[in-house]
């Protein structure tokens, strides 16, 4: 059974808040079991105490940072602090602060994470509770979509995109462990675009922002003297923020999160939706994934490929990559199921159709075909090959597919002649058939 934790000894940090520009000092102190994480405003009479969970969230100020509140007392921009605590598996902590915003430090969670490790983490005489889910939990708002899938660990697959020449698209995926967080996520710094600065400051934000604690992006690069710490540092910071925001669930989470264009306001709305549907388990939970029609395949082994692994098998990339996950059954050469989270941010919805977005039927067929490609090209003998359409038959479209739908793409081999074959595909949304087709293909070697 996993035990609750706190820090071994107290430590402090001090500096300037990113948005308020206020100087503050924070003292981190060990806490007893079942305490949770609390912020204490030691600069105010009676030292108001605010517990860091979703019940204390102040949604009205969650645009450029996450704020917790008790009465009229607020603490702003707490996501980096909570991110480090959550990823390093701290359950109980008292954080005293003498102003209304934590120090931003270098714009990342690296320094606070190092401080926690230097302080030491100790186990307490109490078991951890975990949040798990049996069915996917989906949150959609505008161009943002966050979906949680059942898992026995915390994984995050995040995609961001902007109408900007320097930052049009980034994607990253990590299993969140202490090691991956410290090495791959904690050092990623907060960022903004140069054209945002004046508007932020006119709205009372970014008063403490400098090139020493935030990346500023221009049309062709960054203004900072320090180079990027990672090629995809921006999406990694979005993952850092998301970890901090989901910590407000109040318990460790076991789930796979697939996030498109996340932000603080949407993150905390997702947390509320997630908590309303989650189950509390003790110890290291084993999540019972619900059986669905496509998985009733006797006791055959199931192999699952995530988005990053799919891109190692087939050449498709954004914006034409039409699948997020693929399951192969048994030997993996006869039957597969692909999944596509249909986001309102898909580029084809801009013209198909304005005001009434509908996924083009040809792209649903393409998604089925890509699922088939993974099924065939995952074979060791075909790893350096391409699959081409030779023909499409018996195509029928039965229902429209719109933003927010989860496409389930079931494909099965009808005929397999090694490098030629025929596949039947069916697409479902919430168990209802939306499209079907049969298609022929040929597999060729990639040009060297």
Annotated catalytic residues are: 264
Helix (H) or strand (E) holding 423: strand 420-429
Question: 3-class DSSP state for residue 401?
Answer: coil
Spatial distance between the Cα atoms of 81 and 110, rounded to a whole number of angstroms: 10
Name, in order, each residue with C-beta under 8 angstroms of 107's C-beta and a sequence gap of 6 or more: 18, 189, 190, 191, 212, 213, 214, 215
Kindly report whether the peptide bond that precedes residue 319 is cis, defined as omega within 30 degrees of 0. Answer: yes
What's CA 354's distance to the chain center, in Å? 28
Main-chain phi, psi angles of 394, to 5 degrees: 50, 40
What's CA 333's distance to the chain center, in Å? 30
Query: Are 239 and 80 spatial neighbours (Cβ–Cβ below 8 Å)?
Result: no
Q: Which of 196, 8, 169, 203 is nearest to 88 (CA)?
A: 8
Q: Is 41 exposed, middle or buried (0-12, 13-18, 19+ CB in 10 A)?
A: buried
List the structure tokens of 34.
């079942």
Query: Are 264 and 65 spatial neighbours (Cβ–Cβ below 8 Å)?
Result: yes
Query: Per residue, what are the HEC states of 86-107?
Result: HHCCCCCEEEEECCCCCCCCCC
Main-chain phi, psi angles of 376, to 5 degrees: -85, -45
């Amino acid at each position: 059974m996993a035990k609750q934790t706190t820090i071994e000894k107290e430590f402090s940090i001090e500096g300037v808040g990113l948005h308020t520009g206020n100087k503050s000092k924070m003292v981190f102190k060990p806490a007893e079991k079942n305490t949770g994480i609390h912020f204490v405003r030691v600069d105010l009479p009676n030292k108001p105490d605010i517990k860091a969970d979703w019940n204390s969230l102040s949604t009205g100020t969650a645009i450029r940072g996450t704020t917790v509140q008790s009465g009229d007392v607020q603490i702003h921009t707490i996501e980096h602090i909570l991110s480090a605590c959550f990823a390093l598996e701290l359950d109980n902590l008292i954080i005293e602060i003498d102003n209304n915003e934590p120090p931003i430090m270098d714009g990342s969670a690296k320094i606070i994470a190092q401080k926690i490790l230097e302080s030491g983490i100790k186990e307490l005489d109490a078991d951890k509770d975990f949040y798990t889910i049996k069915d996917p939990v989906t949150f959609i708002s505008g161009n943002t979509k966050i979906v949680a899938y059942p898992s026995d660990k915390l994984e995050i697959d995040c995609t961001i995109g902007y109408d900007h020449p320097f930052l049009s698209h980034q994607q990253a995926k990590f299993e969140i462990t202490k090691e991956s967080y410290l090495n791959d996520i904690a050092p990623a710094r907060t960022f903004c675009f140069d054209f945002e600065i004046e508007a932020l400051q006119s709205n009372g934000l970014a008063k403490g922002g400098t090139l020493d604690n935030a990346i500023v992006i221009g049309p062709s690069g960054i203004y900072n003297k320090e180079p990027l710490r990672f090629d995809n540092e921006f999406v990694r910071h979005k993952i850092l923020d998301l970890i901090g925001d989901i910590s407000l669930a109040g318990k460790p989470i076991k789930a796979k999160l697939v996030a498109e264009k996340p932000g603080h306001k949407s993150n905390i709305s997702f947390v509320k939706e997630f908590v309303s549907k989650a189950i509390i388990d003790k110890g290291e939970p084993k999540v019972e994934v619900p059986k669905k029609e496509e998985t009733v395949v006797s006791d055959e082994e199931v192999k699952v490929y995530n988005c990053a692994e799919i891109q190692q098998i087939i050449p498709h990339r954004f914006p034409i990559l039409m699948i997020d996950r693929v399951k192969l059954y048994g030997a993996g050469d006869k039957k597969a199921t692909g999944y596509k989270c249909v986001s309102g941010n898909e580029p084809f919805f801009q013209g198909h159709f304005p005001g009434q977005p509908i996924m083009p039927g040809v792209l649903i067929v393409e998604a089925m075909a890509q699922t088939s490609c993974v099924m065939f090209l995952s074979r060791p003998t075909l790893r350096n090959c391409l699959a081409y359409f030779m023909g499409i038959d018996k195509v029928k479209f039965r229902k429209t597919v719109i933003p927010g739908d989860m496409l389930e793409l079931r494909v099965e081999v009808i005929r397999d002649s090694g490098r030629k074959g025929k596949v039947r595909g069916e697409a479902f949304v919430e168990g209802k058939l939306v499209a079907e087709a049969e298609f022929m293909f040929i597999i060729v070697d990639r040009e060297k």
